[in-house]
Amino acid sequence: MNAASSSIAGRIAGWFDKPSEKAIAAEEAALRSDRFRLEREGDWKRLESILRRIESGRLRRLSDDDLLALPVLYRTAASSLAIARETSLDAALVGYLETLTQRAWFQVYGPRASLWSWLRGFLGGGWSASVRALGMDLLLALALMIAGTAVGWLLVAHDPEWYHALVPGGFADVRAPGASREVLRGTLFGNQDQNGMSVFAAQLFSNNAQVSIMCFALGFAFGLPTMLLLVHNTALLGAMLWLYHGQGLLVDFIGWLSIHGTTELFAILLAGAAGIHVGRSMAFPGNMPILEAASAAGRRAAQVMTGVVLMLVVAALLEGFGRQLVDSTPSRLAVGGSMLVLWCAYFFAFRRDGRMAGR
């Protein structure tokens, strides 16, 4: 082999032996990642150890130093994650830090109570306390509902054509002015297995659920739409009360409605009071800034609305089973009255510690 051939062969061999630029970059990245990990791994391991003990329910075994170090270690891990992302360190390290910071965030800033403990506190006094805090708003909402019922009654008594304006077509069916006593009575008794009654009851429940949600949602407009909605919805009730009263079936209709109606109407009352409470806090914030007053009222009203949803579910169960099992007016009034007494006792008679209010 001549000298020229030997030189060419040497250069070719050198090309194969020389590391590529990508390989060098990968090696440098690995070295940076290793140095980065070694400098901070001690803090990560300590944070992981603390989180493991907290997550396993061994919080009481943590020392005061570990508890005080937890937020500091969380911020250190979050800072390390930001650096790792910015400098494009290896994906495994970034993934590890993401998981670690998420777990730490939950322990530092997450909720302190489990779902069961929250529910126990909510039903054990939190909900009723929020309802009692609406005092004046509850009275105003109740007055509006009574006034709406009276307005609906008086309007249709003066001109029966108002009935069709107040009562939606889906509710009216055979329940319309001019219907005979037999027809109206047939809508109240002996219809447990008829689909028509199921459809009517479903429409009634859907309407009341929508009204409850809208009463709260419209409270931000200083409560005025909520007030109008309460009057309008109960005007429907007044019109139907007038209709059955005309045929001597007023008590029977109230009994039919009371099984689930006492719970549903109570839910509408609470939803209306919650909306009025938010609107009143915005219109009359007192010494607080408007946004701060609205925020505080909104948190209280939201807790009330959580209970309203529960009440609507209870009303649906009462309607579904009560209508099937109870077909006499005295029994219906007993069920509805018992539910009303139960709700009033829960909200106003008892406190969290189980003692009677006022003792």
Give per-residue pLDDT as tens, 6-40: 555 555 445 444 455 555 555 555 556 677 778 88
Residue ranges per domain, the chain? 3-109, 117-349
**Residue 158, pLDDT score:** 94
Q: What are phi and psi of 151, to 5 degrees?
A: -65, -45
User: Please, is 134 exposed, middle or buried when counting C-beta atoms within 10 Å of its C-beta (0-12, 13-18, 19+)?
Assistant: buried
Go through 285-295 and write b for each residue having 16 or more CB atoms within 10 A of its CB, e for each that does not: beeeeeeebbe
As a whole number of angstroms, the distance between CA 92 and CA 78 comes to 16
pLDDT higher than 80, residue 62:
no
pLDDT higher than 70, residue 151:
yes
**Residue 20, pLDDT score:** 56
CA distances to 53, 141, 198, 205, 302 from 227, in Å: 53, 7, 30, 20, 18
Asked whether the beta carbons of 256 and 332 are under 8 A apart, the reply is yes
Nearest to 168 by CA among 140, 210, 215: 210
**Residue 359, pLDDT score:** 40
**Residue 51, pLDDT score:** 87
More confident residue, 5 or 324: 324
Q: What are phi and psi of 193, to 5 degrees?
A: -105, 10
Residues 215-242 have a mean pLDDT of 90
Question: Which segments of 110-223 does DSSP mark as H helices, in order?
Answer: 115-121, 127-132, 135-158, 162-166, 169-172, 181-186, 195-217
**Residue 263, pLDDT score:** 93
Give per-residue pLDDT as tens, 156-203: 999 999 998 888 776 656 788 888 999 888 888 876 555 545 555 566
Give per-residue pLDDT as tens, 132-144: 999 899 999 999 9
**Residue 138, pLDDT score:** 95
Nearest to 339 by CA among 277, 272, 255, 278: 255
Q: For the chain, first and last CA: distance in Å? A: 115
**Residue 318, pLDDT score:** 84
pLDDT higher than 90, residue 252:
yes
- Grade residue 316 by pLDDT with cuts at 50, 70 and 90: confident
pLDDT higher than 80, residue 272:
yes
**Residue 321, pLDDT score:** 73
**Which of 4-13, 304-313, 318-327 has the highest average model confidence (pLDDT)?**
304-313
Go through 240-273 and write b for each residue having 16 or more CB atoms within 10 A of its CB, e for each that does not: bbbbbebbebeebbbbbbbbbbbbbbbbbbbbbb
Give per-residue pLDDT as tens, 40-53: 888 889 899 888 88
Residues 52-75 have a mean pLDDT of 82
- Read off the DSSP letter of residue 355: P
**Residue 84, pLDDT score:** 80
Give per-residue pLDDT as tens, 92-108: 888 888 999 988 888 87
**Residue 337, pLDDT score:** 94
For the chain, percent of residues with pLDDT exceeding 70? 79
The amino acid present at 314, given as its one-letter code, is V
Nearest to 208 by CA among 312, 138, 301: 312
Asked whether the beta carbons of 223 and 140 are under 8 A apart, the reply is no
pLDDT higher than 50, residue 355:
no
